Amino acid sequence: MAHGNGAISIKRLSGALGAEISGVDLAGSQDNEAFAAIHQAFLDHCVIFFRDQIMTPDQHVAFARRFGRISVHPYAPALPGHPEVMTIFKEKDDKVNFGGGWHSDMTFLEKPPLGSILYAKDIPPYGGDTMFANQYLAYEALSPGMKRTLGALNAVHSANAQYGVDGRSEASRNNDQRSMKPMTSEDAKAEMVHPVVRTHPETGRKALYVNVGFTQRFEGWTKDESRPLLRWLYEHCAQPEFTCRFNWAKNSVAFWDNRCTQHYALNDYHGFRREMNRVTIEGDRPR
C-alpha cells in the first residue's frame, strides 16, 4: 500500500490481537489515506505497534489528537512542561512498577479512554514487555448462558484501591519501592457504573468490560457476592490464547484500544531503568 508516508505494511503478532505497522512516520502529518489505514488497523487488531519512531512530546500529542480529545490522568505524574503527556518510569533500584497487573485504563471515569499511545524512551536490556488481552475474544468464548447473565449486569468501578488514601499508590508513596509517585485522594472513592459487556462504538462488537484494577463489584451485589464471579472472569479474560506480548525497543510505540483490551506491564527487569511517555485519548461512555 502506498500512503504518502511510503508503503505501509501490517504484520500480525499473534492469533488473538496485535499487529506491527511499518512504513509510517508518526511524527509527520499522515495524509488521510495513511491515517485511515492506521485507524482501520487499530480497529482490526485492537493494539498496533510501530518501531523506530522519533517524536517530540508535542508530536506525540498531535498524533493522539487525530483520534479525539486528550484525557489527562487524574493521579499519575505528567512530563514537566507537557501536562498531556504522562511519564511512566521505574528506576533501577525500584521494586514496584506502574501498570503491573491486568487492567483497562481509567475505567473509574464516566468516559474511560478510547486508547493510549505509549512511547518507549528508555528500555531495559531484557524484560519489561507489555502483554495485551483481547476482550472481544474473552466475551465470545463464553457460553450462551453466561453471556445472557453478564449481558444483564452492570459493574461498579472506582480508583480507590489504586489511588485512594489507603490504596496501593499511597503505600508506594511511603516507601522507596517506587520512585514514580502517583497522587492519592479521597476523591478516588467516587464510583462509576458501566455495563459488564460493552458494545464497541466503532466496530459494534461486544467485549467483556471488567478488570481487577478498578472493578469493585456488580451493581446491586455485595463485594462478597461479586468476588467469585469476578475472580473467574479475571482469570478467563487473560487466558494465554487471548493475548499477545510486545517486546519493546527504544523508540517503539504501542497504541491500544482500551475499549476492547486489557494490558499488563511486566515487572521482570529489576536493576535496570525503564521510562515511557503515554498520551491517552478520551472515549465515550460505555454502552
Q: Which residues bind ligand SIN (CB under 6 A)?
A: 88, 98-99, 116, 118, 130, 263, 265, 276, 278
The strands making up 130-134's β-sheet, listed across from edge to edge, are 243-246, 130-134, 261-265
Q: Is 236 labeled as catalytic in the residue annotation? A: no
Q: Is 227 labeled as catalytic in the residue annotation? A: no
CB of 277 to ligand SIN, least distance (A): 10
In the complex with ligand SIN, the residue whose CB is nearer, 30 or 130, is: 130
Could you give the CA distance from residue 117 to residue 256 in angstroms, rounded to a whole number? 7
In the complex with ligand SIN, the residue whose CB is nearer, 118 or 238, is: 118
Q: Is 60 labeled as catalytic in the residue annotation? A: no
CB of 130 to ligand SIN, least distance (A): 4
In the complex with ligand SIN, the residue whose CB is nearer, 23 or 127, is: 127
84 φ, ψ (degrees, to nearest 5): -90, -5
Catalytic-role residue among 105, 200, 257, 259: 105
Output the nine-digit C-alpha cell for 173: 508513596
CB of 148 to ligand SIN, least distance (A): 32
Contact 163, 169 (CB under 8 A): yes
Q: Report the residue number whose CB is nearest to ligand SIN.
A: 99
In the complex with ligand SIN, the residue whose CB is nearer, 37 or 265, is: 265
Could you give the CA distance from residue 72 to residue 154 in angstroms, rounded to a whole number? 25
Catalytic-role residue among 3, 60, 259, 278: 278
First to last CA, the chain: 35
Catalytic-role residue among 45, 103, 178, 259: 103
Output the nine-digit C-alpha cell for 83: 501536562
CB of 140 to ligand SIN, least distance (A): 25
One-character DSSP codes across 37-68: HHHHHHHHHSEEEE-S----HHHHHHHHHTTS
Q: Is 278 labeled as catalytic in the residue annotation? A: yes
Active site residues: 103, 105, 263, 278
